[in-house]
A = this chain, B = another copy of it.
Amino acid sequence: MPKIGMKPIRREALVNAAIFEIGRVGTLDVTVSQIAKQAGVSSALAHHYMGGKDEIFVAAMRHILTIYRLEIQGALALSTTPRERVEAIIRSSFSKQNFRPDIVSAWLNFYVKANASAPTKRLLTVYHKRILSNLTYSLRPLVGDNAPKIASGIAAMIDGFYLQLALKNKPTNKDTLVHLIIEYLDMSIERNAIKNDI
Which A residues lie at the B interface, using CB under 8 A? 25-27, 29, 105, 108-109, 111-116, 121, 124-125, 128, 149, 152-153, 155-164, 166-167, 176, 180-181, 183-184, 187-188, 190-191
Contacts and interface: CB of A to CB of B under 8 A. Distances in A.
A105 B113 CA distance: 10
Nearest to A156: B160
B112 A25 contact: no
Number of copies: 4
B157 A153 contact: yes
Given A153-B180, A155-B160, A114 B166 contact: yes
Chain A interface mostly: helix
A112 B27 contact: yes
Would you list the 8 A-B pairs with minimal beta carbon distance, nearest first? A26-B115, A156-B160, A160-B160, A159-B160, A26-B116, A187-B187, A27-B116, A159-B163
Contacts of A149: 176, 180
22 contacts: A26-B113, A26-B115, A27-B112, A27-B113, A27-B115, A105-B115, A111-B166, A111-B167, A112-B112, A114-B166, A114-B167, A128-B164, A128-B167, A152-B180, A153-B184, A155-B160, A156-B156, A156-B157, A157-B157, A162-B163, A184-B184, A184-B187
